[in-house]
Structure 1
């Protein structure tokens, strides 16, 4: 009995030994998890309330806790807070935390977070003048954004990345590429019904149009954007867009209007204490007064702009303007000094050899190490051989670098030619595509008007082509299209324009040919095709074509002429197919 009681007590004791520590450990882990969440919450609140130092301390504490507990989501959130806090204080630290957050987002499959990190890193890299790295980051952001499953989030992230790519292209002076990405961003914002962002993009597009010399478009876009922000009461945007519109009017030659807008922007900036805008406005006013011949006044404003400017991109036009205005007031010494500073910035950010200099710097470092070895081995018999090795190495490196540059240039030229060809030709038939046909036709139309020569357009369509696809398959249909394209090339002159208009439709442009001459050529083609068959997988496929012809008169536009040819084609289809109809 005693043994039985002792055994029971022993079992109860062992049970407590096992369960109690486990329970305590579980409570400890739970408490730690609650502590991490609470610390993150407090860090976020401190940051948003402006308590930066406390926010930094708490966010760093939360990051260390998350790493120790292997909680990747919480680590990413802590890094986000730290990056945002350091964003305007220490760019390198902010970039470091964005990189760490990006790795965390990648581990947990958070593509939206990755896109955000790449975009934010790109903005910081752009501020640092690392344009190549910034563009690479923006492209990564765009690539990831395009894969997001949620349509709204995808559209928003694409808009942001596209806008930043456009802005960077504008900096590079690739204005047409810039406008293409701006339009992509604007279209996304339209889909999201974010009118404020739509007009914000339009305001930046206006600046790009100004740089292209398209002042009417620039004024239109900027005026629409300004009207919107005025109605919305967005003072900062009113200041920015008014100032930009002033630049546009200045370049367009309307100096009084430019002066009015710059003064309006200055008055609002002073009233609103928008100090960041002062250098941009002073620079604009300086340019206006320079155009008016008020050089002393222009110099004062440009010097004020220089004193307040913290942006290298703005410093370049300021230095350029100071070069001109100093010369105008007969201050050649300062003019030379400002020009030297302008050229330094230009070489730093926009020199074509910029990336080559990075390699040259690395090579110089290696040669420096060799020089040190030479100094240490100066009394050694091998010094001559070492110098010879260094010279050979340097020669080989220079030769490799030059060959690389030549190869890179040639490859770029070849790729540009191939891309241009691909963009202008139908990939299946090799004929001109719709865009290429329209460009060539407009040129021929202008020439026909100038020389008073006839120009005829013909559109043809394969009769009952759907039945070919349904009966023999789409590969057979492709074989028919390819065969017909070959017959077209053999049947017409080199001066005639041949193109695939869409689907089973083709278009032919006959320069210096009236409608009757075109009909004669087309009739021969129709008969040839009627008597020709396409062999596909042992089967003979016969097709016929219906043609519609229209001659372009001087007073008739290309689009109207094409429509008439299309009407003629429709008549031919309606009256039995396999025929040529003229309107």
Structure 2
């Protein structure tokens, strides 16, 4: 919550600064003339780009008019670029492309390579994101790269490389995409680019590895991206990365983990009112519910996504949404309806030349033909789709095709071919999910969380080893000095004896004085060495003690951080209720306790009625207020031993111990009535709120706790069908 408040403060602060700049520029506009006036028009157009696109367009058009009158070609090109940008925001793509093309022609005539490269980049984005002409987008990005390489700005070169990688992804050339994203990342790292830009490149590298089914590398880069994003407070990038990590966990069949990341991503996108992102997250959440066999819930999410996507007009997303709805109808035995949606999806995928989408839909259609025992048509679709999958190196699809071929030939009793395809399926599975990959995925997040601290500890250990080596060297030097001193003493004695033989006149007293001086020097030398050793030892002991203290302090920090992370991982940040993960752990414990003492308990699934309408009518802040108010009412109305959790979105799961089915119904009705009579005020308006509950008692006939949850969920949806604002008992 603190992080959210801080982000809101920063956004407000930036808005106030922008507003102040706009006021200053609009004031300066009244007296400005000549090129200064054109520059102010262009600057105002840029500042209004996100605040008021229509006003941005008007200022850019004023800049264009003034630049044309004064024949200022460079400012004219800038104005045309600003007009194009404003038209994109206003969803007028044709006008945007026309103005960008005019800006490009002027920049090329002026030999202004920097601005020409920027304009080519803008043109590429239109072809990529709005017109779905991916080869034309790639051509524009390559031209932009060539100009930027001539100018020599490495950061802009890296951005062009990144855009080329994105275009290759849309062209289903995943190896090419990966190579360009790796080149972009390396260039950004070498030139000290900012954390936000590095995080974006890491994200693209991660998703490229995902497309190539190299999931161990994918999770490594995505988590590195997420670690950098936490430093930048860029919520858009954070939502994208969480979504991508969710994709990866979904591919690994870790559906609960994937759902956590998808719902976190959706919460951010709702707050930012990112409609395309919201639709994408709704689709992904629907896929998880489909895999968990919650088909009606999945269909609800898919239809919400389809409604948004149809308004936005993104054909690739539309094809995916139609495909997803068809899968649900297939599960509900509506073969005709499923085939209708698949064919619509296939038609759109062919229109935009989306090879992966074509191959995926052909596989889905073949499954319907198999169910209808139309094996000849099924083989035609499978052969066509497998060839496309192989051409684009879509190993995950190839794995599915081999498996379906095996099933088909088994049904046809051609066991030799069935075995052949089963072996191919096993080989492809082994290629995608190696044991080493699985271990790395399990360990990589912990590695990156602890990596920095481990490096510091390693450095401290190395410092300690260096000090020990120095102490050992000094000890060796001391021994050498002692040996040298002994040799010199022997030489002095020999010389003295020779001198006594050759110089008989030298008195004994002089010999004694010489020996005394030599001995004194020796004592002084030994004392000096011993004192130096004492000082060194004292210094080493002090440093080792300091190192030990530092390591203890780091250990305490690590333990505290672990405790904070554990607490955050179990709590929903908006409502302060238990989250899905925490509730699952508690329910698993209660299931085991039930097996021992047979004490009955009830699970209640609740869903706020028409919550999407509340968000659409009053805004997402109002929706957050409703969620918090309903959460508080449930906690206050129920007993202390009851547990309330936020299960996902506007859904809540309640655990009522020592309660039978009738008691669960009474408690649920009490909560429902309390919520219905509570007035929730938002900006002077009263928001009417009701909730529907499904109640199920856990008993010996159930396989596990998930069956009880599913029955409560089914009862809930039965209540929705019968008019909402009611409590339904599971049958």
TM-score class, shorter: 0.5 to 0.7
Secondary structure at 2:343's aligned position in 1? helix
1:54-95 Cα offsets, whole Å, 9 max, x none, are: 8647635634754xxxxxxx3111111023225516245313
Task: Name the counterpart of 2:435.
Answer: 352
Query: Which of the residues 114, 117, 121 maps onto 1:40?
Result: 114
Q: Evaluate the alpha carbon distance shift between residue 56 and residue 197 of structure 1 in structure 2; reply closer, same or farther with a 3 A threshold.
A: closer
Residues 7-42 of structure 1: CA deviation (Å, up to 9, x unaligned):
xxxxxxxxxxxxxxxxxxxxxxxxxxx99x943333
Of the candidates 211, 217, 223, which is equivalent to residue 139 of structure 1? 223
> Relative to 1, partners in 2 of residues 1:285 and 1:344: Cα closer, same or farther, differing over 3 Å?
same
8 Å CA contact 1:46, 1:54 repeated in 2: yes
Q: Which residue of 1 aligns with 2:651?
A: none
Give the CA deviation at 1:419: 9.5
Tell whether 2:75 aligns with 1:75. Answer: no
Deviation at 1:348, TM superposition (A): 0.8
1:468-510, Cα deviation, whole Å (9 max, x unpaired): xxxxxxxxxxxxxxxxxxxxxxxxxxxxxxxxx99xxx9468x
* Distance (Å, rounded) in 2 between the aligned partners of 1:553 and 1:147: 49
Deviation at 1:173, TM superposition (A): 1.1
Q: 1:332 to 1:553 in 2, by over 3 A?
A: closer
Aligned to 1:182: 262
* 1:271-298 deviation per Cα after TM superposition (whole angstroms, max 9, x unaligned): 6655542212211110011111222221
Tell me if the contact between 1:76 and 1:104 (Cα under 8 Å) persists in the aligned partners. Answer: no
Normalised TM-score (structure 2): 0.43
**1:557 corresponds to which residue?**
664
Shift in Å, 1:166:
0.4
Distance 1:553 1:314, change over 3 A: closer
CA contact (8 A) 1:115 1:140 kept: yes
Given that 1:56 and 1:85 are in contact with CA atoms closer than 8 Å, whether structure 2 keeps it comes out as: yes
Deviations 1:96-137 (A, max 9, x none): 3222243156x25x2221221111111222233332121121
Deviation at residue 243 of structure 1 after TM alignment: 1.4
Matched, 1:125 2:209: yes
- In the alignment, what sits opposite 1:342? 425
- Deviation at residue 170 of structure 1 after TM alignment: 0.8
**Cα distance between partner residues in 2 of 1:453 and 1:312:** 46
Kindly indicate whether residue 298 of structure 2 is the aligned counterpart of residue 218 of structure 1. Answer: yes
Give the number of equivalent residue pairs.
369
The separation in 1 between residues aligned to 2:209 and 2:585, in whole angstroms, is: 43
Flag the 1:266–1:57 CA change in 2: closer, same or farther, 3 A: closer
Q: Match for residue 372 of structure 1?
A: none
Distance 2:595 2:669 in 1: 17
**Considering only aligned residues, what root-mean-square deviation do their CA atoms show, in Å?**
4.7
SS in structure 1 opposite 2:273? coil
Counterpart among 383, 387, 392 of residue 307 in structure 1: 387
- In structure 2, C-alpha distance between the alignment counterparts of 1:556 and 1:194, rounded to whole Å: 43
Distance 1:51 1:299, change over 3 A: closer
Over residues 394-451 of structure 1, what are the superposed CA-to-partner deviations in whole Å (9 max), with x where a residue is unaligned?
xxxxxxxxxxxxxxxxxxxxxx9x99999789xxxxxx99959974997699999987
Over 3 Å counting, the alpha-carbon distance change for 1:193 and 1:345 in structure 2 is: same
When normalised by structure 1's length, the TM-score is 0.53
| More deviation, 277-286/346-355 | 346-355
In structure 2, distance between residues paired with 1:51 and 1:246: 31
Trace 1:402-413 onto structure 2 (pairs within 5 A).
none
In structure 1, distance between residues paired with 2:601 and 2:160: 71
Matches within 5 A, 1:113-512: 113-149=197-233, 154-270=234-350, 274-309=354-389, 310=392, 311-354=394-437, 439=587, 507=640
Runs of at least 5 residues in structure 1 that lack an aligned partner in the other structure: 1-33, 67-73, 359-415, 426-431, 455-500, 510-549, 568-583
Please tell me whether the aligned partners of residues 198 and 225 of structure 2 are also in contact (alpha carbons under 8 angstroms).
Answer: yes
Offset from partner CA, 1:165-211 (integer Å, 9 cap, x none): 00011111111111110101111110011223212211122122222
